[in-house]
Amino acid sequence: MENDEHFMNLAILLARKGGGNVNPNPQVGAIIVNDGQIIGQGYHEKYGEAHAEINAFKSCIESPEGSTIYVTLEPCAHQGKQPPCFEAIIKNKVKRVVIGSLDPNPLVAGKGIEAMKKAGIDVSLKVLEKECKDLNKIFFITSLKEPPTS
């Protein structure tokens, strides 16, 4: 769908706002769309704080039930500092998930996608994949320069 690239592009612009504050996490942006209208948006703002998807749900101006979420990176599936984002996506009854790039971390890769598909969510992969991967490339470079201290 041609609109997919449009909304993914907006999610990428949001992701970049995280800048170096999310180090050593990747920059991630999320946009929630219902009937062609953006009803929520969020990005990963700071390491250790809420992920992009959670911030997007929090910002919703109407119920996200039946909506589409665009996220630059595959929603996380492991219990880290935050509960896994794929659970929030299922809980919020999103109808469709559009993912830019897959997580290079083997703890994450594919697991959330499988769970969301099982829950009946339509999952589309690799929309603007190169641009979304580039967000992670910036993260890898900066994290090499400044190794995490905690």
The contact set with Zn ion (CB under 5 A) reads 51, 76, 85
Q: Residue 78 corresponds to which tokens in the numbers above?
A: 């492991």
Q: For the CB of residue 105, give the shortest distance to Zn ion in the complex, in Å.
A: 11
Which residue in the list 53, 62, 87, 129 is annotated as catalytic?
53
Phi, psi (5° rounding) for residue 82? -125, 155
Asked if the peptide bond before residue 24 counts as cis, ω within 30 degrees of 0, the response is yes
Q: For the CB of residue 82, give the shortest distance to Zn ion in the complex, in Å.
A: 6
114 carries an active-site annotation: no
How far does Cα 137 stand from its chain's mean position? 16
Closer residue to Zn ion in complex, CB, 85/116: 85
Closer residue to Zn ion in complex, CB, 33/74: 74
CA–CA gap between residue 68 and residue 129 (Å, rounded): 18
Closer residue to Zn ion in complex, CB, 1/107: 107
